Structures are given as C-alpha cells and as structure tokens.
C-alpha cells in the first residue's frame, strides 16, 4: 500500500485500489504537502467532459452562497446592525 505514484510525461498518476470493501486513491505525502491537504480534509468532485473529474478543496456551491451572503450584508447592512442590538 506504500506505493509511490508513478510519473509520466503528462504528470503523476495513481491507480484505483481496493481499500477494505471500498475503492480509493492513495495520494503520496509529496502531493498532499504540495496541495496543503491532510487526513480528514474534504475534496469536492467536479465532473468534466470526456470522463474527466477535478478534485478540489474549493467548493463552488459554498463560494456562490458566500457571495450571495456578502451582497445581502452589504445591501442590508443597516437592517443587520439593528437586528444585532
């Protein structure tokens, strides 16, 4: 299980492995370090065309919700201040 990811001209890759009753990917310490990931971090799956996926710690749905909240706080700042009293 301590297999080092292989490197090709296109970059590093890992294989899907059986882990218990599930399948998973094992990322090397080097990759985890470069991406600043640690055990327990969540990665969001973004499906792309032609069987591709993108794994990202960035959640586009959360980012959109935060943008809506920021606009609301900006637009209704006085109302939120009054409610906070």
Residue 23 lies inside a defined structural domain of this protein = yes
Would the pTM count as exceeding 0.75? Answer: no
Could you give phi then psi for residue 49, rounded to 5 degrees? -65, 160
Q: How confident is the model at residue 10 (pLDDT cuts 50, 70, 90)?
A: low
Q: What is the pLDDT of residues 19-55, one digit of tens each?
A: 999 999 888 888 889 888 999 898 888 888 887 888 8
Instruction: Find the angle CA(75)-CA(76)-CA(82) to the nearest 5 degrees.
Output: 155
Residue 85 lies inside a defined structural domain of this protein = no
Which domain, by its residues, includes 13?
Answer: 1-41
Residue 19 lies inside a defined structural domain of this protein = yes
User: What's the distance, CA 85 to chain centroid?
Assistant: 37
Would you call 62 exposed, middle or buried from its count of C-beta atoms within 10 A (0-12, 13-18, 19+)?
exposed
11 has pLDDT over 60:
yes
Using alpha carbons, list the distances in angstroms from residue 59 to 25, 74, 79: 20, 23, 29
Residue 9 lies inside a defined structural domain of this protein = yes
Q: What is the pLDDT of residues 58-74, one digit of tens each?
A: 777 888 898 999 999 99
């Amino acid at each position: 299980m301590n297999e080092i990811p292989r490197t090709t001209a296109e970059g590093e890759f890992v294989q899907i492995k059986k882990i218990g009753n599930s399948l998973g990917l094992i990322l090397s310490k080097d990759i985890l370090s470069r991406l600043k990931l640690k055990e327990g971090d969540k990665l969001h799956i973004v499906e792309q065309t032609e069987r591709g996926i993108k794994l990202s710690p960035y959640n586009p749905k959360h980012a959109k919700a935060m943008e809506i909240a920021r606009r609301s706080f900006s637009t209704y700042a006085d109302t939120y201040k009054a409610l906070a009293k």
